[in-house]
Amino acid sequence: MTVSSREYHVLQIDAFTTHKFEGNAASVVLDAQGLSDDEMQRIAREMNNSETAFILPPDGDDHDLNVRYFTPSVEVPFCGHATIAAHYARAILGRLGSHSVRQKSRAGPIEIDVREIDGDYHVSMLQRPPEFQAPLSDDIASATMAAVSGSVADLRSDCPVQVVSTGHSKVLVGLRSRAAVLGLTPISAALVALSRDIGSNGFHFFALEAVEPGVLTTCRMFGPAIGILEDPVTGNGNGPLGAYLVRHRLIDFPHDGTFSFRSAQGHAVSRPGIADVTVYIERGEPVRTRVGGAAVLVFSTTIRF
């Protein structure tokens, strides 16, 4: 008896960079229709990136394709860098040129913009309207700093520790200096416990101090509760960060219009990358964010079941 096999094309993409082995690595499984939830989870565990994206056909008229995201241990509703990787993979394989698509995920539909620039592609995503929870207590702020071996004295007094979401929530923590951000050492068990208490699985630390010219912020993101001790470059962190900077008046911005900046991340784990962030502002308040970046193909392979 002959048993038919199923083959799936997998690409390894480094997002938020043009250099291989930098930025944030994601695997992309093209034409993932036919894979079970268990098979997707097993592939994500095997690839062992912070997230693997599985591209599926649409299941409704309000979107062009469906994408599911798995860490090595669990499915998550949305992932920024894996979205960049997924649409970069589609663009380079299909030679699609500049285009826009509407993508569905467990976090809801979003608009993706792909621009061909000098023979390569820049991908950006219009994230969901920002949602701000009430600032966390001083005790939680202190516990958060203790969970990354940091000092409460490094917290900026004008930056409340706060959960913000543009699709997948992050705890935003503003520090006084780039050195303070780069000096953090995460304690996995403590962060996991805090994630349960707070109800958010990622901790995004930032400083308004750049690592290079033309960059506004230096960031790090820890998410051990979903199997990611430290994420190199985080679309779901830098989008909320843009909205947070406007909400708390931490930068100069137009009352109506847009504010754009570049955010550096990944230096602490030797995978530097840059996220391009645009905040759409109405009447002095952030209403949407767009996060984008470059990407590069590292390798492609085939998985056969």
Q: Following DSSP, what letter does each residue of 213-257 receive, concatenated? A: TT--EEEEEEEGGGTEEEESS-HHHHHHHHHHHHHTT-S---SSE
Up-side HSE of residue 190: CA atoms within 13 Å toward CB?
14
Give the position of tokens 């989008």.
Answer: 239
Residue 51 known to be catalytic:
yes
Q: Which of 7, 22, 51, 111 is catalytic?
A: 51
Q: Cα–Cα distances in Å, from 193 out to 12, 40, 260?
A: 32, 27, 35
Q: Cα–Cα distances in Å, from 61 out to 55, 100, 104?
A: 17, 16, 11
* Gap between the Cα atoms of 272 and 17, Å rounded: 8
Token output for 168: 């997948």
| Residues acting as catalytic residues | 51
